[in-house]
Amino acid sequence: MNKNFRGNKNYSIVFIVSFFIVVFIYLFSSFLFVDNREPDNLDFNPSQNDFFKIVKVIDGDTIIVRVSGEDETIRLIGINTPEIVDPRRPVECFGMEASNKAKEMLSGKFIRLEKDSLVDDKDKYGRSLRYVFFEDGTNFGKIIIQEGYAYEYSYENKIYKYQEEFQQAEDSARKNKRGLWADGVCKE
């Protein structure tokens, strides 16, 4: 009887240890088999089908989006809105209106980002340079220029993919006196 007791005791210990090993593996398997590497400096190159949530609209031409679980600051290519956040300058004419319009159009939205091989990946402040498209394919930059809330902008006079469209959008806004170009709004 003493021999059976020891055998059962050894069996019980093996069973308990095995049970805890199985439970441990089950509980921590997600940590053991998941690739937890950080993205490479968030140099992302999203496909045409990737949409990102806008976390914050800084002003009319700068936003923050969530990419791979991290917040990424995006400077929109081809547009410039009047300044409201540059500590070296006063708030520019129509800056608050442009910022508010961008917030109205972009806050909380899911957008597609597009890189342009004709321009640098990042600006001198480390912001990723991208175009922003809504889920329906509408180019935000073109719309905000066309409505008169932004200027067409060529950084260092570089050519970019949608430059002609953006220039035409600004010409239309000027001709139709929208936003920045409305009579009596801002002096050029």
- Give the dihedral sign, CA 139/127/164/180: positive
Catalytic residue check, 89: no
CB 118 within 8 A of CB 160: yes
Catalytic residue check, 88: no
DSSP 66-133: EETTEEEEEEETTEE---SS-TTSPPPTTHHHHHHHHHHHHTT-EEEEE--TTS-SB-TTSPEEEEEE
Which residue of the set 72, 83, 152, 170 is catalytic?
83
Catalytic residue check, 83: yes
In this structure, which amino acid lies at residue 162? Answer: Y
Place of tokens 């917030």: 103
Which residue of the set 127, 130, 152, 170 is catalytic?
127
Helix (H) or strand (E) holding 111: strand 110-114
Active site residues per annotation: 75, 83, 127
